[in-house]
Amino acid sequence: MYSIGIDIGGTFTDAAVVKSGGGRAVLAKAPSTPGDYLEGVMTVLEDAAAQLGLALGDLLGAADLLAHSTTVTSNVLWTRSGARVGLIATRGFGDQILIMRGIGRVAGLSLAERRHYRRTDKPPPIVPRSRIAEVAERVDSTGEAIVPLDEVGARAAIRELVHDHKIEALAAGLLWSFRNPGHELRLREIAAEEAPGIPVSLSSEVSGRLGEYERTATAVLNAYVGREMEGYLEGLTARLTASGLRRAPLIVQSDGGLTPPGRVVPIRTVESGPAAGVAGAARLSGELSKTKLIATDVGGTTFKVALVEDGRWGLADETVITQYHVFVPMVDVVSIGAGGGSIAWEDEGRLRVGPCSAGARPGPACYGAGGEEPTVTDADLLLGVLNPGNFLGGRIALDPEAAKRAFERTVAPRFFDGDATAAAAGVREIIDAQMADLIRKTTLERGSDPRDFAIIAYGGAGPAHACAYAAEAGIDEVIVPYHATVLSAFGAAAGGVRYMLEHSLTVFPPEGAADLGRGFSDLEAEGGEMLARAGVPEGERRFDRWCAIRWRRQVHSLRVPFPGGPMGASSLERVLGDFAREYALRYGEESAYTEAGTEITRIWINALGPALPPEPVSTPEKSLSPTPGKTRRVHWSAKVNWQETPIFDGPALPAGAGIEGPAIIEHPGTTIALPPGAAALIDAAGHTRIRLGQTPGFKDDSARENSVKENSAKEDSP
């Protein structure tokens, strides 16, 4: 039996197939097919089946699970190609989606983009004012309906939106609907009578939390992407079923869990690919016996960082999507515009790299597809890190001369006296420093020491830069998993059914234990029903409890785990102690106004089904020193300059193979750059475990520096 994971990226569609009996995953890649993404899905599945010696129908028929992370919702949002949406709001509050928050014009933008404030603006409205209707009704903060819903006005508003404004989907965002959803539920019934077939997105269902703007924005975006997502899921299910799949595919959600197509909330699939990657890193933490990992994903456009501790990842309290603040449970991934396609440019006399990207088309200059700006990939090629004839397994032939011309035409004469190699080295140093800075911010600003973590590097460009940004961040251990280029697909295959259910409330401890107990019991009952509908046996259902706590008179809260079992004063007291310690760790001792007391503002659960269990892999002793297939000159740093560097074929390296840096390890989808002073060891699962030693900056290591100088004196820069 098999577990299958599929992830669609902008350039490639990936698959990972894991046998129930263990062993290495089978990995497959195929070009993505934007015109019809299902074609790429079927192609990559056929490739995986062929590697197993099976027909596609036999593989699908033997699959216990097929999980799929998708870019459908993300593509709809970025291209603004969603449905024509209408919105119904409480009378007097129709403009809230347009007013946004005070920081709406810069929400989600990088610091560099915010500096040019006059260029910023609010996003074009997904729902213009002409398609916003207001109805008379009012529910108060306790959930009491103090003004009944004006059903006559509601019917008229829906008819106008459908017939005069030709809406294709309807969203409803009423005040305090999460306390009492009755009026929103009635609006859906009226819409079904007045406009059969029009999908309706209710704020109380997609985001049952305090915050009228965020809840409304979530409902609107869900309606906007829903049509495209539902159509894709119908086609996916039909195609896979016809090809032999016995069970419905599961869809990766933005919180890293899996859900059946019939239970998918479309907006909760945004960034499901990165979420699956973090889920894969969390699964590997058990396999690698690492309690603290920093998951780092370097793609063509972005550098993403997430913390995994004790096999768990964090969830962001809120998310910014196309400048809208929304309440979508999403894996806490922090990102910047830094990747292989990041463009080097001049910004008022300073050399900058990113956040603008060359993308997949035209791509870096060395792709030969029309790109003219120098990028990080162009720099890696000029420095010898990348093999021009073996990039992405030979799928793309790189042109070093085109990369050189791009640097000589732009940043090299401005900053490096026309020296393209020096410019490439400078660009690589800048991008690595930016990545390291994000790692420091993600750890230090949350009260964690980066030196306590190991880095897991994945994505196409991650292994090529991981040793450099790890060293810059003060981390001495890097792990490149065997399935680094398809880790999101692996994470989908290894994940389990997961639903996040939440409830907003107000509790002032030490009172309120009974209210909390009832709240958690209600959520767990609902979660149990959802797991049952997903086919999870009762004995395999698990629930994680969490709550949001803050010091009274403060705005921000912290996420704290809540113990299971019966609720009582002792369990509540323990949670409050955990909160106080976490607050002190993050913000400093004596930083809180403890006399104000605490307030619990929200509770939620993760309803969990069984996931693919990790198979622990012990680190083997070094048993052999493999012979490189060839060598080439690689520029490692300003101090080291050029060195003749051994090149190894990654897939051919057996367990126990030890490699001393400098070295390049080439895999079909990525390249591992092992700098001088570092050492790599291949474990039984095929993961590359790297120790950096004295690598950081090559400082305080005179012996190595003298050796490098002697070697450099014999070599001329190509």
pLDDT band, residue 4 (cuts 50/70/90): very high
Q: Is 350 among the domain residues?
A: no
- pLDDT, one tens digit per residue, over 368-401 is 888 899 999 999 999 999 999 888 777 778 999 9
Quick one: pLDDT at residue 21? 65
Q: Same domain, yes or no, for 84 and 220? A: yes
Quick one: pLDDT at residue 621? 79
Range of the domain at 3: 1-69
- Residue 622 confidence (pLDDT) above 90: no
Q: Same domain, yes or no, for 186 and 168? A: yes
Q: Is 55 among the domain residues?
A: yes
Q: Same domain, yes or no, for 60 and 115? A: no
As a whole number of angstroms, the distance between CA 84 and CA 98 comes to: 16
- pLDDT, one tens digit per residue, over 149-169 is 999 999 999 999 999 999 999
Q: Is 252 among the domain residues?
A: no
Q: Same domain, yes or no, for 101 and 196? A: yes
- Residue 696 confidence (pLDDT) above 60: no
Q: Would you give the DSSP letter of residue 496?
A: -
Query: What average pLDDT score do residues 596-615 get?
Result: 87
Q: Same domain, yes or no, for 198 and 60? A: no
- Residue 344 confidence (pLDDT) above 90: yes
Look up the CATH number of the domain holding residue 65.
3.30.420.40
- pLDDT, one tens digit per residue, over 568-590 is 888 899 999 999 998 988 888 88
Q: Are 302 and 462 in contact (CB under 8 A)?
A: no
The number of distinct structural domains making up the chain is 3
User: Of 231, 266, 294, which residue constitutes the final position of a domain?
Assistant: 231
Three-class DSSP category at 13: strand
- Residue 647 confidence (pLDDT) above 80: yes
Query: What average pLDDT score do residues 649-660 get?
Result: 93
Query: What average pLDDT score do residues 281-305 get?
Result: 90
Quick one: pLDDT at residue 223? 96
As a whole number of angstroms, the distance between CA 599 and CA 258 comes to: 32
Q: Same domain, yes or no, for 189 and 108? A: yes
Percentage of the chain modeled with pLDDT above 90: 57
Q: Is 715 among the domain residues?
A: no
CA 141 from chain center: how many Å?
35
Quick one: pLDDT at residue 586? 84
Q: Is 450 among the domain residues?
A: no
CA 496 from chain center: how many Å?
17
Quick one: pLDDT at residue 91? 96
Q: What pTM does this model have?
A: 0.86
Q: Same domain, yes or no, for 569 and 593? A: yes
Closest CA to 531 of 271, 241, 250, 266: 250
Buried b (16+ CB within 10 A) or exposed e, 174-211: bbbbbbbbbbbebbbebbeebbeebbbbbbbbbbbbbb
Mean residue pLDDT across the chain: 88
Quick one: pLDDT at residue 23? 67
- Residue 264 confidence (pLDDT) above 50: yes
Residue with tokens 């049509």: 227
- Residue 709 confidence (pLDDT) above 50: no
Look up the CATH number of the domain holding residue 126.
3.40.50
Quick one: pLDDT at residue 701? 37
As a whole number of angstroms, the distance between CA 102 and CA 203 comes to: 21
pLDDT band, residue 706 (cuts 50/70/90): very low
Quick one: pLDDT at residue 705? 38
User: Of 69, 85, 105, which residue constitutes the final position of a domain?
Assistant: 69
Q: Same domain, yes or no, for 29 and 148? A: no
As a whole number of angstroms, the distance between CA 491 and CA 297 comes to: 13
- Residue 704 confidence (pLDDT) above 70: no
Q: Is 514 among the domain residues?
A: yes
User: Of 587, 608, 629, which residue constitutes the final position of a domain?
Assistant: 608
Quick one: pLDDT at residue 280? 92
Residue 246 identity: R
Q: Is 51 among the domain residues?
A: yes
Q: Are 472 and 481 in contact (CB under 8 A)?
A: no
**39 Cβ contact partners less than 8 Å away, ≥ 6 residues apart:** 33
Q: Is 682 among the domain residues?
A: no
Q: Same domain, yes or no, for 82 and 208? A: yes
Q: Same domain, yes or no, for 133 and 23? A: no
Q: What is the DSSP string of 279-322?
A: HHHHHHHHHTT-SEEEEEEE-SS-EEEEEEETTEE-EES-EEET
As a whole number of angstroms, the distance between CA 339 and CA 350 comes to: 19
Residue 586 identity: R
Q: Same domain, yes or no, for 13 and 99? A: no
Q: Same domain, yes or no, for 82 and 189? A: yes
3-state secondary structure 34-57: CCCHHHHHHHHHHHHHHHCCCCHH
